[in-house]
Structure 1
Amino acid sequence: MISTRLASLLFCSLVLLACSSKPNQDYDTGYDFSQLHTFSGITTASNSDPLSAQRIADAIQSSLLTQGFKQADDTAQFKVNYTFNITDKPKKSGLSIGLGTGNWGSSGGVGIGTSVGVPIGNDSAKLQTIQIDMIDIKTQQLIWRGSDNFSFDTGGEDKAQLTQQTVAKILAQFPPQESLK
């Protein structure tokens, strides 16, 4: 009985883990990130959506300041560039499978159920991808890049919060911990 519950719990945990997104990162493995303490301006190459651009810039600044970096344009060691892209993403209308266990008296059992989801309303959502680059001021070389995305249906407060959360997840990997050892 306990092994069935443990197997069920393990299966559910793996499904949830597979559904969560983890930001991507790449960095210069030979760079000494421990020397970085100050950053300069946060700029974007594209500005077709001024609301999103400002939200992302504010979230980057807030995250870096929270991590202990200082903004000092005249003595900065790295600068921050970012890009973002918004695309249409079809809503899923797929098949879901569930697994459950239970017992009745002295007997136990495992059950499997399915459901089919049908999207109602708009047939697509939006997907916003954010990429953040850290550039060494002296060499003008890219030293770190992180990216992630999120889905949204409408703008406003929900999108602002998703932007903040996504930027924080990306920058939680900066500086890369492997390089600080």
Structure 2
Amino acid sequence: MNRRFAALAALALPLLISACASVGGPTVRIDVDPGADFSRVRTYSWVARPDGGTPLMQQRIVDGIDSRLQAKGWKLAPNGYIHVSAHVSSSEKESQGAYYNRVGYVGWGGFGPPAPNTAAPTDTYEVGTLVVEMVNAQSKRSAWRGTASGTLHDDPAKMNALLQAALDKMFTGFPSASK
């Protein structure tokens, strides 16, 4: 019996660790114009740099996007074929803890004073969202849009790790709708 439990624990532990790691990561969504032809794109230009967060985080966002686009062979140019913009926003969220409502009486056989109700604890945290949009400069049509959301941290190293993970997810397989 102990061997079965040990084997089960050995199989379940990696799954549990990977599930916990994915819970705290950013949520990324991509939307692509099916008619967008990225095969001809060689240049891009910034039309709106991130407007939220600290100046250092804004620069990390721009540098992260630039490095990923340039890795695809795109070049930053004054009047690029694609116009890139990035926006940052944040909002406060609350999570409710467990609420225990004990109904009835406590004591031996159900006799005694009524059980107290306990209030549910709340936890406040901040969620940040990064939106990256790409528009065809000639047609003015939206070609690609990526959004990433995640819980913000006070530690700059954790914030940078969250940003890099979000950008990695966002640009995996980019451009996904090339003709």
TM-score, normalization: structure 2? 0.66
CA change 1:58–1:93 in 2 (3 A) is farther
Contact 2:52/2:89 (CA < 8 Å) preserved in 1?
no
Aligned match of 1:123? 123
Q: What letter is aligned with 1:125?
A: Y
Task: Tell me whether 40-49 or 28-37 shows the greater mean CA deviation.
Answer: 40-49
CA change 1:22–1:16 in 2 (3 A) is same
Q: What letter is aligned with 2:45?
A: S
Aligned match of 1:157? 157
Aligned match of 1:168? 168
SS of corresponding position for 2:135:
strand
CA change 1:167–1:142 in 2 (3 A) is same
How far the C-alpha of 1:34 sits from its partner, in A, is 1.3
Percent of residue pairs bearing the same amino acid type? 24
SS of corresponding position for 2:87:
strand
CA change 1:158–1:92 in 2 (3 A) is farther
C-alpha distance after superposition, 1:37-83 (max 9, x if no partner) = 21112523734643332221121112212232211224x21011111
- In the alignment, is residue 23 of structure 1 matched against residue 31 of structure 2? no
SS of corresponding position for 2:45:
strand
CA change 1:94–1:151 in 2 (3 A) is farther
Point out the structure with the larger strand share: 1
Contact 2:46/2:84 (CA < 8 Å) preserved in 1?
yes
SS of corresponding position for 2:134:
strand
- Which is higher, the Rg of structure 1 or of structure 2? 2
RMSD: 3.6
Aligned match of 1:90? 94
Mapped to 1, the partners of 2:53 and 2:162 lie a distance apart of: 19
Count of paired positions: 151
Mapped to 1, the partners of 2:150 and 2:77 lie a distance apart of: 31
CA change 1:166–1:45 in 2 (3 A) is closer
Aligned match of 1:180? 178
Mapped to 1, the partners of 2:140 and 2:125 lie a distance apart of: 37
Mapped to 1, the partners of 2:134 and 2:84 lie a distance apart of: 5
Give the 4+ runs in structure 1 shifted more than 6 A: none
Contact 1:130/1:167 (CA < 8 Å) preserved in 2?
no
SS of corresponding position for 1:123:
strand
Contact 2:83/2:135 (CA < 8 Å) preserved in 1?
yes
Flag structure 2 segments of 5+ consecutive residues without an equivalent.
100-119
CA change 1:84–1:169 in 2 (3 A) is same
CA change 1:63–1:34 in 2 (3 A) is same
Aligned match of 2:66? 61
Contact 2:26/2:162 (CA < 8 Å) preserved in 1?
no
